[in-house]
Structure 1
C-alpha cells in the first residue's frame, strides 16, 4: 500500500509564536517524520502565527473584523486528506488557540462538497496533546468529538499525548523529561499516524464517504433517502 498521493496538514495550537520553542512541536515531529517516510506530503502550520479572527462565520472580515487569515487556512484544510490538531493542556483543557481553530473549522461546517455532503467528508482527523498536568484524554475527547461532528472520519486510536509529573516540572523537550523516550507515547503516536494514513488511503480509493443518505443539498430539496416523505416530488 502506498501513501505518496496523500496530503496532511498539522496545526500546532501552541500559545508560543515562532520561533519560540514549542514542546508540542517535538511530538508533532515524531508523527510528521513517519508520514513523510511514507511519502505523505505534510504541511505544518502554527496557528498563533496567523491572524485568525474570533467568530462563527467563514470570513470574519464580512462581520466587522479588519483582517482574518482563516479563509486562506481553510483552503489548506480542504487540500489535506489528513488533519492533525496538536496542542498543550492548560487548566486541564485544550488551549485557547486549539479552541479557536475548532471554532473556525465549525464556522465552515455548513459548506458543501460537489456531492452535496458537508465539506469535511472523506477526510480523516487525529490529535496530539502535550503538557505537564493531567488531561490528555479529556482534551483528545473534545478534539475528536468536534472533528467527527464536523464530518471528519476518526480512525481507531486517533490520539496520542505526553504529560510529565503533575504540577510544575519538565515539559516534553526539556532535558531529563523522558518525553521523547517514553515508549507509551511513542507507541500511541506511531499507531495514530499509521491509522490516519490507512484510513485516508481507504477513503481516497473509495472516492470518499458514499453520497447517499448524507447529502445536505438533497435533504434541503425535500429528499429523505428512503424515509417516507409524501411531500417530496
Structure 2
C-alpha cells in the first residue's frame, strides 16, 4: 500500500540541525517503503492568515482566498498521507513561517463546515523541534494539539527534539528518535489506510445525545446524593461552626 510522506522544514537553514533531523526521519520513512518529499518553507511566500472566517464562515475554504505560494503547499499536503514537521524553537514557539503555514491550513479544516468533512482528516503527523534553548515540548505540544484538531492522527513515538549546541549528527539518541518518527508515521498511515474509514468525525450521535445526557444526569444526581453526606461531614469539620451546609 503506497504511502507518501511530506517532510516540512520550517528552519531558514537548509543545512542546520532541524533539517538534519528531518532528513533522518525521511530516510527512515523511505526505508519503511514510503515515497518522501521535502519542502523548505522559507522558499515559499506564505502570507499571514487574515481570519476571513470571522467575517463569514463560507469565506474560509479551499482554495484559500490569498493568492500566494501556500496554494502549492496545500496541494502537497492534500496529496500526502503523512506529514513530518520540523521547526527551530523561537521563544518557546515554532518559527514564524511555520505558524503562518499552520494558520493557513485552516482552509482545509474549515471544509467541515462547507462539505461536512475536514480535508486533512485521517492523515498522520510527526514532529521535530530543535534549539539550543528550552521550549521543545511546548512547541511539539502546540503542533500536536492543533493538527489533531484537524483530525490528523498522532502515532506513538511521534516526536523528536534536540536542545543542545553542536552537531546533532553526533547525538545517537536524537537520531534514533527522529528515525522512529519517520517509521511510526508510515506504519500508522498504512494502518489507517487499511481501515478505509470514510469519515472520522461524525454527527451520527446527535439523536442519541438527549438520552445519554438524561442517563448521565440521573446517575450523577444519585452519586451526588450518596457522596454529599460524606463530603458534608468532612467540610463541616473544616469550616467554622456558623456555616450551615444543609
Shorter-chain TM-score range: 0.7 to 0.9
Q: TM-score, normalised by structure 2?
A: 0.73
> How far off is 1:59 after superposition?
6.8
CA RMSD, Structure 1 to Structure 2 (Å): 2.7
> How far off is 1:207 after superposition?
1.1
**Is residue 9 from structure 1 mapped to residue 3 from structure 2 by the alignment?**
no
Query: Taking structure 1 as reference, are residues 14 and 158 closer, same or farther at Cα in structure 2, changes over 3 Å only?
Result: same
| DSSP-derived class of the 1:156 partner | coil
- Which runs of at least 4 in structure 1 moved beyond 6 Å after TM superposition? none
| DSSP-derived class of the 2:170 partner | coil
> How far off is 1:26 after superposition?
0.8
Partner residue in 1 for 2:146: 146
Deviations 1:90-142 (A, max 9, x none): 122211112111101123211159x9432111111111111111111111000
Write out aligned runs for 1:215-230 (5 A): 215=202, 219=203, 224=206, 226-228=208-210
| DSSP-derived class of the 1:90 partner | coil
> How far off is 1:60 after superposition?
8.7
CA contact (8 A) 1:60 1:68 kept: no
| DSSP-derived class of the 1:94 partner | coil
| DSSP-derived class of the 1:93 partner | coil
Q: Equivalents in 2 of 1:39, 1:26: separation in Å? A: 20
Deviations 1:39-74 (A, max 9, x none): 211111111111112114457974xx5x41112211
Write out aligned runs for 1:158-197 (5 A): 158-164=158-164, 170=165, 177-197=166-186
Q: Equivalents in 2 of 1:132, 1:48: separation in Å? A: 21
Partner residue in 2 for 1:211: 199
> How far off is 1:197 after superposition?
1.3
**Is residue 136 from structure 1 mapped to residue 124 from structure 2 by the alignment?**
no
Partner residue in 1 for 2:226: none
Partner residue in 2 for 1:126: 126
Query: Taking structure 1 as reference, are residues 12 and 139 closer, same or farther at Cα in structure 2, changes over 3 Å only?
Result: same
Q: Which one has the bigger helix percentage?
A: 2
Q: Equivalents in 2 of 1:61, 1:155: separation in Å? A: 29
Q: TM-score, normalised by structure 1?
A: 0.77
Q: Equivalents in 2 of 1:192, 1:225: separation in Å? A: 40
